[in-house]
A = this chain, B = another copy of it.
């Protein structure tokens, strides 16, 4: 069973581009950054990531974690207890990736002002040309 059909189709692509897509995927980014702080349990992680606005669905988080685990970025520690307890953490490989991703995220935050400004200019120019 393939993780998802989009990947099955893309199996012919250069493999590193696929890994890059996993790391930069919508939820992959957030999972990696969260796990950089500490290990998380499944539901904990879900709350952390979806702490505001829209959250991850259970299905998407599962899928994201499985993909990242398969690529060797995330370690899954399932403890055979009742009730079940599963902890997710970064591997060394995953930590390297996560640090790069976090750097990008931090940069984004510091540059938000410039982005906002650019958007206002863009929108203004667009409005002006529409009602000429």
Chain A residues proximal to chain B, CB less than 8 Å: 9-10, 12-17, 19-21, 23-26, 29, 52-54, 69-72, 91, 93, 96-97, 100-101, 103-105, 107-109, 111-112, 114-119, 121-123
Contact = CB atoms under 8 A, between A and B. Distances in A.
- As for how many copies of this chain the complex holds, the number is 2
A104 B19 CA distance: 11
Contact of A100 (B23, B97, B103): B103
A9 B53 CA distance: 9
B93 A97 contact: no
8 contacts: A13-B52, A13-B54, A20-B108, A72-B118, A72-B122, A93-B114, A97-B107, A97-B108
